[in-house]
Structure 1
């Protein structure tokens, strides 16, 4: 326990210099694959902590992914998050339903800004299908948020494109290469983006 508090104190001290939380941008599929749990839950209560953490009590509606330790941690419906935004703390609104990815530390469920947290009503149908089923099938693929192309057969690339973030799912094709799957919503979004770019130029 002492080691844990010392670590938290060091993290807090380092973030005072940075003034704000910074996270590498990642695709929702990457968040899903790298997390210990993925849930959809409605916020019931908020508990403001005096030290490093705040806590939220959620009514969990769906568990789309959970390691054995995560299933134990989620039984209470309690999520911990850093109490300060500079430490990547998440602010959740009471009576709002969210999709949340998180990690388990010492059998406690943790959530922070470097994970994926979104109101369920803002999640696109394609993202919902991803969280329910398809992201899991694509965890053997990697999504790189980069402008650089790659010859790796296990990688899908997107240049921080909102269309791919909202509608893209990366899966293996019949040749066992990772590719963005076809979807009408993705096609429409890309066409609209190109059209808007043409008008502006």
Structure 2
């Protein structure tokens, strides 16, 4: 009888450890990406000031923004952004973002079912912390470089349509990858 209890207790403890490990492992992780990549892969890129925060249902919270600039918007994104409402997962493990009221952000996001969504794997930064070169990128130059691919984890690439960098903050904050006169992608000054 004692051995059956210990066996059951051991099984329950093993199950609890497995569940605990899974809970730790389900945290949000995103591969590093250059702001230009975020721009090119998003449905919208906006600069907006957070006006209100709403605790949502169905695992989503919402932010009401006053959109100051729209640097990119697909036709569906234009419709979704008319309300100035952004949805984000309410749990960190689902990659939800936390925005501060009365703060202005540059935000890239996706449109799902005609609703604007933002998450940690996109680009979300306080506008005052964005470098002048990044601002110029968002306004104009990143769009011109969308035919180029930026690889953050390689030292070199033989592709004429790629710029590479190895997690270098200088490239992230000041680099823009554009085609040169020979139609090869290069980092610009």
- TM-score between both structures, scaled by the size of structure 2: 0.86
Contact 1:153 1:178 in 2 (8 A): yes
Please give the secondary structure, in 2, of the residue aligned with 1:153. coil
Contact 1:15 1:86 in 2 (8 A): no
Contact 1:153 1:176 in 2 (8 A): yes
Contact 1:15 1:87 in 2 (8 A): no
The 1:178/1:84 distance shift into structure 2, 3 A limit, reads same
Which whole-Å CA distance do the structure 2 matches of 1:3 and 1:110 have between them? 44
Matching residue of 1:77:
84
Post-superposition offset of 1:20: 1.4
Post-superposition offset of 1:49: 1.5
Please give the secondary structure, in 2, of the residue aligned with 1:42. strand
The 1:72/1:5 distance shift into structure 2, 3 A limit, reads farther
Matching residue of 2:143:
136
Which whole-Å CA distance do the structure 2 matches of 1:114 and 1:11 have between them? 27
Contact 1:46 1:55 in 2 (8 A): yes
The 1:12/1:156 distance shift into structure 2, 3 A limit, reads farther
Post-superposition offset of 1:11: 18
Work out which of the two has the higher radius of gyration on C-alpha atoms and give 1 or 2.
Answer: 2
Post-superposition offset of 1:8: 24
Post-superposition offset of 1:84: 0.5
Residue in structure 1 matching 2:61, options 42, 54, 66: 54
Matching residue of 1:118:
125
Q: Deviations 1:112-148 (Å, cap 9, x if unpaired)?
A: 0000000000000000000000000000000001233
**Range with bigger deviation, 106-115 or 144-153:** 144-153
The alignment yields a C-alpha RMSD, in angstroms, of 6.7
- TM-score between both structures, scaled by the size of structure 1: 0.81
The 1:84/1:161 distance shift into structure 2, 3 A limit, reads same
The 1:8/1:52 distance shift into structure 2, 3 A limit, reads farther
Matching residue of 1:175:
182
Post-superposition offset of 1:50: 3.3
Q: Gaps (5+ residues) in structure 1?
A: 181-201
The 1:108/1:13 distance shift into structure 2, 3 A limit, reads farther
